[in-house]
Structure 1
Amino acid sequence: MTQTSALSIRLAGAAVAALAALFATSVHADSGRLMPRDAPAAYAQECASCHSAYPPGLLPAASWQRIMTGLDHHYGADASLDATTVHDLSRWLQANAGTYKRVRGAPPEDRITRADWFERKHRKLDAGVWKHASVRSAANCAACHPGADRGDYDDDGVRLPAGLSAASRTWWRD
């Protein structure tokens, strides 16, 4: 192999690596659905003990600020945390909050499940799905999205619980 072709191969490899890194970064920044790699252990430990630990990109910064300052009455429960944990989680949520078109405006009551995009995506789902024993509520993303803890909500990965109607099982493909 000549020096010129070896250099060309290294440059091509470097270009591919740079594009892959750029793509991975832009997908994360644009989708907002992915769980950031630097998620604090306290986020999964505290938040996911009651519901899915939602990727912070699913809500705008203002919503996360209101949520974190109202933990003593967090959707009907007292989810209070020590001041240091609140500060650390708040800072991380703010830094990773959604900034793209879909989440620019805060949903009613700062609920992800009340966001326009969430309601539009789940509009054809039978109301009974939310009441199914293994689902219990729209906030239990992991019931149908096995990759929810990683922010993987891809339609191809949806696994609805057994016992749901055939119409419910194909709602996302319409």
Structure 2
Amino acid sequence: MNIPYRPLVLGLLVIGFSALVLGRAQAGGGHFYAPVADAVVKEECGGCHLAFAPSMLPARSWTRMMADLKNHFGDDASVDPATAKKITNYLTANAADQVGTRYGNKLLRDVAPGQAPLRITELPRWVKEHREVRASEWTQSTVRSKANCAACHTGAERGYYED
């Protein structure tokens, strides 16, 4: 190799490696779902549980869920109509089928187009990702529920769901 080309090759290698590292960092180095950025959604949803990233469900699921807040997984999560509309608009605008995120698309891969699942924990991809978790782990006092993502994924509130 001629001497003049060595800096060029070295520069290209540095650029390629940097792109790889930065690409992983931007994606969270693993499963990244943009966390809720809206203050009202954070307050209303995050007051009882982790405010789940909208890109974890399709818009039709969020619409279905918001339409029946009186029966929100065994609780009455009702809010006034204006707040419900604001939350619904935010969730549907940032849903997996609207924003086209890498991992949101993966979660929806095995969900039929007309289906509107309500539980993230019942999505085929979620089930596959968690198949190695023993049943006894879900009932531990520090976990208590499959919906308690932050018990195992310490970066969940920031959108990182890497093991």
Residue 96 of structure 2: SS of its match in structure 1? coil
Unaligned runs of 5+ in 1: 1-18, 156-174
Cα drift, residue 48 of structure 1? 1.5
Cα deviation for residue 33 of structure 1 reads 1.5
The alpha carbon displacement at 1:54 in A equals 0.6
Shift of 1:32: 6.6
Task: Trace 1:68-83 onto structure 2 (pairs within 5 A).
Answer: 68-83=66-81
Question: Superposition pairs for residues 20-99 of structure 1, below 5 Å?
Answer: 27=27, 33-35=33-35, 39-99=37-97
Please say if residues 64 and 116 of structure 2, whose CA atoms lie closer than 8 Å, have aligned partners that are also in contact.
no
Structure 2 residue 162 is matched with structure 1 residue 154: yes
1:131-142 aligned at under 5 Å gives the runs 131-142=139-150
Q: Which residue of 2 aligns with 1:117?
A: 125
| Structure 2: gaps of 5 or more residues | 1-18, 98-104
Cα distance change of structure 1 residues 138 and 108 upon mapping to structure 2, 3 Å threshold? farther
User: Where does structure 1 differ by over 3 angstroms across 4 or more consecutive aligned residues?
Assistant: 106-109
Backbone CA RMSD of aligned residues: 2.8
Q: Secondary structure at the match of 2:73?
A: coil
Task: Sort the Cα spacing of 1:121 and 1:32 in 2 relative to 1 into closer, same or farther, 3 A.
Answer: same
Residue pair 1:68, 1:86 contacting (<8 A) in 2 also = yes
Identity level (%): 41
Letter in 2 for 1:60: P
Do the aligned partners of residues 129 and 108 (structure 1) sit closer, same or farther apart at CA in structure 2, a change above 3 Å counting? Answer: farther
Instruction: State the one-letter code of the partner of 1:85.
Output: T
- Partner AA of 1:44 in structure 2: K
Q: Is the 8 A contact 2:153 2:160 kept in 1?
A: yes
- Residues 113-170 of structure 1 deviation map (CA, whole Å, 9 limit, x = unaligned): 1111111111011101110001010000111111111111012xxxxxxxxxxxxxxx
Q: Which moved more, 1:96-105 or 1:132-141?
A: 96-105
Larger relative contact order, structure 1 or 2 (CA cutoff 8 Å, min sep 6) = 2
Q: Distance in 2 between matches of 1:97 and 1:52?
A: 16
Shift of 1:102: 2.8
User: How many matched pairs?
Assistant: 132
Indicate conservation of the 8 Å contact 1:32/1:98, yes or no.
no
Are the counterparts in 1 of residues 59 and 96 from structure 2 also a CA contact under 8 Å?
Answer: yes
